[in-house]
A = this chain, B = another copy of it.
Amino acid sequence: MSLLSPSRRLRETPFSAGVKAAGVKAYTVYNRMLLPTVFDDVERDYHHLKNHVQVWDVSVERQVELIGPDASKLMQLLTPRDLTKMQEDQCYYVPIVDQKGRMLNDPVALKHSETRWWISIADSDLLLWVKGLAIGMGLDVDVFEPDVAPLAVQGPRSGQLMERIFGATVHDIRFFRQKRLSFGDTSFIVARSGYSKQGGFEIYVEDRRYAMPLWNALFEAGQDLHVRAGCPNLIERIESGLLSYGNDMSMENTPFECGLDKFCNAPETVDFIGKESLRIEAETGPSRKIRAVAIGGAPVSATTTAWPLFRGGQTVGQITSAAWSPDFQTNVAIAMVESGSWDAGTEMMADTPEGQRTATVQTGFWT
Contacts and interface: CB of A to CB of B under 8 A. Distances in A.
B5 A3 contact: no
Interface string A223-265: 0000000000000000000001111000100000000000000
A183 interface: no
A3 B6 contact: no
B306 A8 contact: yes
A99 B25 contact: no
Interface stretch (A162-170, A297-305, A308-316, A343-351): A297-305
Q: Is the interface of A mostly helix, strand, loop or mixed?
A: loop
Contacts of A132: 128-133, 135-136
A125 interface: yes
Contacts of A193: none
A29 B125 CA distance: 15
Contacts of A129: 125, 128-129, 131-132
Given A128-B126, A136-B132, A5 B28 contact: yes
Interface string A313-357: 000000011000000000000000000000000000000000000
Given A98-B135, A130-B132, A7 B125 contact: no
B135 A305 contact: no
A29 B130 CA distance: 24
Given A132-B131, A133-B132, A2 B28 contact: no
Contacts of A12: 304-305
Contact of A5 (B26, B138, B305): B26
A133 B1 CA distance: 39
A61 B2 CA distance: 21
Query: Chain A contact residues (Cβ within 8 angstroms of B): what range?
Result: 35 or more
Contacts of A303: 7-8
A21 interface: no
A303 to B, nearest CB: 5
A25 B2 CA distance: 7
Interface string A158-178: 000000000000000000000
Given A132-B128, A135-B133, A302 B29 contact: no
A3 B32 contact: no
Contacts of A1: 3-6
A98 B125 CA distance: 14
A273 interface: yes
B302 A6 contact: yes
A5 B1 CA distance: 6
A319 B316 CA distance: 52
Interface in A120-160: 123-126, 128-138, 145
Interface string A266-280: 000000010000000
B99 A135 contact: yes
Contacts of A273: 135
Given A3-B27, A128-B132, 19 more contacts: A1-B5, A2-B4, A2-B6, A2-B27, A3-B26, A3-B38, A4-B28, A4-B29, A6-B302, A9-B247, A10-B28, A10-B29, A29-B32, A32-B123, A98-B131, A124-B128, A129-B131, A133-B133, A133-B136
Interface of A: 1-10, 12, 24-29, 32, 34, 37-38, 98-99, 104, 123-126, 128-138, 145, 244-247, 251, 273, 302-306, 320-321
